[in-house]
Amino acid sequence: MSDAVYLRCIRPDCRSTRDVGETVFTCPQCSGLMDVCYDRQRQPAPSTWQFAEAKWSRRTEPLCFSGVWRFHELLPFAPPDKLVTIGEGQTLLQQADSVAKYVNMRPGCLYLQYEGMNPSGSFKDNGMCAAFSHANLVGATRAACASTGNTSASLAAYCSMTGRMRAIIFIGSGKISYGKLSQALDYGALTIQIQGDFDDAMRRVQQVAGRLGIYLVNSINPFRLEGQKTVMYRILEALRWQVPDWIVVPGGNLGNVSAFGKAFHELHQLGLVPRLPRFAVINAAGANTLHVLIRHLGLQWNGGRPDETILQRYYADLDASGRKADTLASAIEINRPVNLPKALRALACSGGAVREVTDQEMMDAKARIGAGGLGCEPASAASVAGLKRLRDEGVIGRDERVVCVLTGHQLKDPNATVAYHTHERAVFEEYLGKRGVTQAPFANRAVQVPNDLEAIVQAIERAS
Ligand code: F0G
């Protein structure tokens, strides 16, 4: 590839660079995270959005149809003949007035960006097609990830659909919903289940990938984040290129907020947007590293020099107490987010906010989202639950324009949904009660009726 594209350490006092044809995802000098950078003198960027709009009339071409690659000019790290697509990114920005009512916002102000419409049912496909294209560029034959389920489902789908690579996935024991596990198994991925949780699996997969020379597709891989930038482009496209006031997103490994921040920073530099939105990242209370570090321990980006001692002390305390992440939102059950520094950077440049929400708040928000017609998995509902908190506190105004990202499809974790709506105490206890969810105020319970025509007719008349 030309040196118009390169990898660069994000630390301002390091800034080491590497060739885009390498698979170096942390800085060899200082272990910092790496960014994909573009020299726009050598590789000019578009100056209007016309380049993307024009692609729609050519949508019979797979790269124009893809909701990621129709923005290729904004992530031009690989030439078109290396790009891989399985039709990702055909997602929807939906105005959601019933959910707006739940969070006390004015009708017309709240939108849900529904990433569950991706081929593997979550936002991961946006980043996976980009990482996969880079893997293709460097000639990889095996790709691996640690996963709470969605990354593995996505990787497995890309591997089996394109037939290009062998998928190797690492999962923790008993920490993955069946919807997601079933995808990886069905798509034929080599599935390594280790004793431990996601954080343990993440550590191991990095060691194994280094030792066996396997291409790593977790979001520590900066090419993943390049693909995830396009979620923001599609939101802008749906809003006729107007910037919303807030983007609210669940926080797990913190790849999304990092990618969203980079997307807007670059667009602003290119003059394609006049300002940045503010980002709000919502942790589960049982996996609240970002929330604690920022709101309780005062960690800041600090111009690229966050106070490392705060971090080290926090992780040492986690180790000493043996405390593990614990939330029914298994997708974000993560205590050691690999993209933490990039997330701090995104929050700093956008004047962002961080909150934590309980599993109860998430499940209630999830039921309200579902009742509005777009079902999501528990972790995704953290965005709306977090918005509700930020509305209650008055941080977000009733008339501001807000987009909550729904990261994963409802069918990813049907057990949690059915348990919330069930009559059966034992089922409720098994899936929700054990995690501290005690009520289901928005349950839509099945009406139980004898197998008798008159009784059925009466039940319907009574209820409708
Ligand atoms: N929402 C869903 C549905 C997810 O699957 C994930 C992460 C997140 C939110 C968190 O996003 O890492 O960008 O902050 N899932 C990963 C996985 C960890 O393995 O599937 P993030």
State the distance from the centre of ligand 1 to the C-alpha of 447, rounded, in angstroms: 35
pLDDT of residue 2: 55
**Euclidean distance between CA atoms 85 and 66, whole angstroms:** 7
pLDDT 10s digits, 385-418: 999 999 999 999 999 999 999 999 999 999 999 9
Q: What is the pLDDT of residues 327-367, one digit of tens each?
A: 999 999 999 999 999 999 999 999 999 999 999 999 999 99
> At residue 228, does pLDDT exceed 90?
yes
Question: Is 174 a residue whose pLDDT tops 80?
Answer: no
Pick from 176, 193, 256 the residue to mutate for probing ligand 1's pocket: most ligand atoms within 8 Å of its CB: 256
Classify residue 41 as exposed, middle or buried by CB count within 10 Å of its CB (0-12, 13-18, 19+).
Answer: exposed
146 pLDDT band (50/70/90 cuts)? very high
Range with the poorest average pLDDT among 86-100, 171-185, 206-220, 314-328? 171-185
> What does residue 277 show for φ and ψ, rounded to 5 degrees?
-75, 170
Q: CB of 416 within 8 A of CB of 410?
A: no
Which residue's CA is minimally distant from atom 11 of ligand 1?
252
Per-residue burial over 328-352, b if 16 or more Cβ lie within 10 Å, else e, is bbbbbbbbbbbbbbbbbbbbbbbeb
Identify the pLDDT of residue 245.
98
Q: Does the pLDDT at position 213 exceed 90?
A: yes
Atom of ligand 1 nearest to the CA of 337: 12
How confident is the model over 409-451, as pLDDT tens digits? 999 999 999 999 998 999 999 999 988 999 999 999 999 999 9
Is-contact 27 33, C-beta < 8 A? yes
| Res. 172 pLDDT band, cuts 50 70 90 | confident
Q: Tell which residue, 48, 42, 35, has the closest CA to residue 7.
A: 35
**What would the two tokens of residue 53 be?**
């709009």
Residue 100, pLDDT above cutoff 60 = yes
Asked if the model's pLDDT at residue 1 lies above 80, the reply is no
Tell me how far the alpha carbon of residue 250 lies from the centroid of ligand 1, in angstroms. 8
**Pocket probe mutation, ligand 1, options 148, 218, 260, 340, max atoms within 8 Å of Cβ:** 148
Structural tokens at position 34: 């790496």
Å from CA of 452 to ligand 1 middle: 46
Q: What average pLDDT does range 40-51 have in this prediction?
A: 93
Ligand 1 atom nearest residue 145's Cα: 19
Distance 237 CA to ligand 1 centre (A): 24
Name the helix (H) or strand (E) containing 237. Answer: helix 230-238
What is the Å distance from ligand 1's center to 396 Cα? Answer: 24
Q: Looking at 217-352, which runs of residues are DSSP E strands? A: 246-250, 278-284
106, 247 Cβ separation under 8 angstroms: no
